[in-house]
Amino acid sequence: MIKVQNLEKIYRTEEIETVALNNVSFEIKEGEFVAMMGPSGCGKSTLLNIIGMLDDLDAGSYLFNGTEVAKFNERKRADLRKHNIGFVFQSFNLIDELTVFENVELPLMYTGVASSERKRIVDEVLDKIQIAHRRNHYPQQLSGGQQQRVAVARAVVNNPKLILADEPTGNLDSRNGNDVMQLLTDLNEKGTTIIMVTHSEHDARFTHRIINMLDGQIVTQSLKV
């Protein structure tokens, strides 16, 4: 599904150049659940952002489902994202001014789903992640775990082929963390490809494969049994 070759990303300021990713190549197959690990600043989030088309790369190739997307303009990237990719963040990133229902509904609006259809889909997803009773609450009225469940609901509402999760349990206690990991595992079992950046060995255990990074490079790729 994803094939990255010789990827490079350099951050430049007036005084210094920082190589964030250096000659990174890897492949992820459809249906995989992959963890990216490594110390802070090793480039794993940058890599995740590039995969999610939130950031661009300076050199190398990025094939998404066989299409070269490295040179996509902003509009095409936005289109690719909204139809194919769901995001889950450590800090949930829900919109404070929208209710649970409206937050989850948002991606459907950008893909142009009709209003009645949206209602049906959102209700279904909220049911599935067992947060339907909170549908009219605002994010600040929910616990961290509940907020992250809403974020996951929002990530999956469009039925994306790929979910990118950046430390999804980083702000949660272990019980809520486990719940979220279970949610992701369920999604993966139903066929969604998931790439997750994490510091947690515990969370990594839920995945099929771990990519270890250091100083902008992939050091090991270990397949779990």
Interface with other proteins (CB under 8 A), residue from 10, 19, 72, 89: 89
Report CA torsion sign: 128, 134, 140, 143. negative
Supply the DSSP symbol for 197. E
Applying CB under 8 A, the span of 30-38, 74-82, 122-130, 214-222 interacting with other proteins comes to 74-82
Task: Please pick, from the candidates 1, 10, 19, 54, the single residue that binds other proteins as defined by CB under 8 A.
Answer: 54
**First and final CA of the chain: distance in angstroms?**
21
CA pair distance 172, 162, nearest whole angstrom: 23
- Asked whether position 95 contacts other proteins by CB under 8 A, the answer is yes
Closest CA relative to residue 166, chosen from 15, 80, 69, 46: 46
How many chain residues bind other proteins (CB under 8 A)? 29
Query: Least Å distance between CB 62 and other proteins?
Result: 16
Burial of 16 (0-12, 13-18, 19+ CB in 10 A): exposed
Nearest to 211 by CA among 189, 196, 200: 196
**Binding-residue pattern over the window 140 to 179 for other proteins, x denoting contact by CB under 8 A:** --------------x-------------------------
63 contributes a contact to other proteins by CB under 8 A: no
Q: Which residues bind other proteins (CB under 8 A)?
A: 45, 49, 52, 54-55, 74-75, 78-79, 81-83, 86-87, 89, 91, 93-98, 102, 106-107, 109-111, 154
